[in-house]
Structure 1
Amino acid sequence: MTGEPKKPPRTTAMKILCNMVLIPNLNDEVEYFTVDSKGYPAPKKTEYANREATIIVGHKERSYLVVTPEDRVFTGAFRSNGRLSSVGQELEGKELTVIIHMPE
């Protein structure tokens, strides 16, 4: 059907204008994923289904999560099947630091 708006992407790029230190909540988890050929962080993690996440391109240690204006940062969400939203095929093979926001 033509003329209908497309569903908005679930991953949204953030514009960082200054250095920031991210401090995850005590319940939040930090994981590392690699982007597959389709632009999705792999593997699927069903225990994170329907959770929101902050995604940083590159490896960042939980104890020192500093984000600079040069870093690419996204907000995203895990789908009900445990797959994290796409970050784009141009990031294939890149490592991601993913902060999974868990309920308090």
Structure 2
Amino acid sequence: MFTLIISLIILFSLLLIVLILVQNPKGGGINGEFSSGGATQMFGVQKTGDLVEQLTWGFSIAILVLVLLSNFTIDKVSGTSAESVNVEKAATKTVPTAPAPTTAPVQAPQPAK
């Protein structure tokens, strides 16, 4: 299940990248391709822009939902402890202690008379 969700996230991300690259913030993009000829009469420039924008929002929301859903499908207990590897390594490490001071304590200087 987790592999399927990750595959869908990757697919939707690639499609979202293509959709964003197709759009032109100055009104061109895929809309500019349909501006001359009979395609404008069939689809309409405004309708094409609406479709690209709706698909962009749809893929963005789908990616968000799939990412949140993937958190619940991760196998939390797969025969090992649920802690991370770094936590396990930190628990087994020993920190060396500082050596005890071997010199006599330093006395405060005497004020000048």
Which category describes the TM-score, using the shorter chain as reference length? under 0.3
Decide which structure has greater helix share. Answer: 2
More RCO (CA 8 Å, sep 6+): 1
Decide which structure has greater strand share. Answer: 1
Structure label with greater radius of gyration: 2
